[in-house]
Amino acid sequence: MSHMRSVSIKDIAQEVGVSTTTVSFVLNGKAKEKRISDELKDKILKTAERLNYRPNQVARGLRTGQTHTLGLIVEDISNPFFAHLARFVEDEADKSGYKVMFCSTENNDEKAISLLYLLRHRQMDGFIIIPTSGIEKEIRSLVNEKKPVVLVDRYFPSLDTSYVTVDNFKGASDGTKLLLAKGYKHILLVTLESDQVQMTERERGYKEAMSSKSLAESGDILRIPYDLTHAQMVKSIASHIDASPGIDSAFFTTNYLGVAGLEALRQLKKVIPDQIAVLSFDDNDLFRLGSPSISVISQPIREIGKKAVEIILSLISSKSEEPRHYILKPEIVERESI
């Protein structure tokens, strides 16, 4: 019972003895509008059913110029932050009949550019992008060509696109202030060597909080190159902490830095929070259920995903719309680690 060619609108038309136009109208629910008789409509519907007709969306996409597909470009789909984001984007897109195609950039400019290129070939209706720092030019041309695009997690201050992020400055500043309020004085900030806005803002928040205190408090910043392997990150963090006995607390600016940090502290056999307090951006199972549980600055991922899809869909339906910016509130979750 296998066909090499699947059944098309033409087959139905032939079977019923009518034009493909009529079939198309009926199948698209325009029977009423086109005033096609109920008998004929039923006959066409029944025949489509009987022949097990499946509309070819590729053909429809070519004809209408709408593929009902969103391109989602993340840093790494296996990172829990992006995996959850993907899921919420999927759910939200699904409600409007959109599917999503994902790609991981590994935070690599070359890869990101080539992925964006490939996705454009495939006529995505819109793009939800966690940009790498070197992809500004390509995003700009996307915008210039009026392609719907929304940046997530980070954006380019010099580029007027829609974006949705979190108030990273406030998150980092509040987190640091919480540590200070708890009596920790020598706070190490472990962050990524990055010029991207989400990272610079977090660093700025930390610095602002530190500077608001007296000079007795002293900070320290460890900047990890973002192309290190996980093992190298762990090693780098461990050796820095080991060499800095004065430090009483560590603040990690991303979830995988936090994970690497816990691994480092474990190697050093540091007791949390007695020997060193820990705070991290982003939440995950390890932070939530590990022992001790880790305090975090949690991002509202579901809301971020929802907003991103909402923006992209509104951009798709009305090309002229102005860029929209959403800056959501991160939430401090206090646990046992501080």
Partner DNA sequence: CTGAAAGCGCTTACAG
Residue number, 118 or 327, with CB nearest to its own copies: 118
Q: Give the Cα separation of 331 and 328 in Å (integer).
A: 10
Choose the one of DNA, its own copies, none that binds residue 119, judging by a C-beta under 5 to 8 angstroms depending on kind. Answer: its own copies
Give me the least distance between CB of 262 and its own copies, in Å please.
Answer: 5
Site membership for DNA, residue 55 (CB under 7 A): yes
Smallest separation (angstroms) from DNA to the CB of 136: 26
Q: Which option in its own copies, DNA, none does residue 25 bind, with CB closer than 5 to 8 A by kind?
A: DNA
Which does residue 1 touch among its own copies, DNA, none (CB within 5 to 8 A, set by kind)? its own copies
Binding site partner of 268, from its own copies, DNA, none, Cβ cut-off 5-8 A by kind: none
Strands of 218-225's sheet in order across:
218-225, 186-193, 249-252, 277-281, 295-298, 331-333
Rounded (10°) CA dihedral 325, 327, 328, 332 = 170
Token pair 């066409």 is found at 44
* Residues contacting 164, CB < 8 A, separation 6+: 150, 151, 152, 304, 307, 308, 311, 325, 326, 327, 328
259 binds, among its own copies, DNA, none (CB under 5 to 8 A by kind): its own copies
Distances (CA, A) of 44 to 11, 33, 39, 227, 277: 11, 16, 9, 58, 70
User: Quick one: 63 or 269, whose CB is closer to DNA?
Assistant: 63
Selected range binding DNA among 24-32, 107-115, 192-200, 244-252, rule: CB under 7 A: 24-32
284 binds, among its own copies, DNA, none (CB under 5 to 8 A by kind): its own copies
Q: Considering only residues 37, 144, 229, 291, which one is a binding residue for DNA as defined by CB under 7 A? A: 37
Q: Which is nearer to its own copies, 32 or 99 (CB)?
A: 99
At residue 51, the 3 state secondary structure works out as coil
| Shortest Cβ 25–DNA spacing (Å) | 6
- Give the interface with its own copies as residue ranges (CB under 8 A): 1-3, 6, 54-59, 61-62, 67, 69, 76-80, 83-84, 86-87, 90-91, 99-104, 117-123, 144-146, 259, 262-263, 266, 284-286, 289-292
Instruction: State which residue, 60 or 204, has the beta carbon closest to DNA.
Output: 60
Distance CA 136, CA 54 (A): 40
Q: What are phi and psi of 309, to 5 degrees?
A: -65, -45
Contact, 273 vs 317, CB < 8 A? no
- Residue 144 tokens, joined: 């210039």
Q: How far apart are CA 224 and CA 216, in angstroms?
A: 26
The residues that touch DNA, with contacts defined as CB under 7 A, are 5-6, 8-10, 17-22, 24-25, 27-28, 34-37, 40, 53-56, 59-60, 62-65
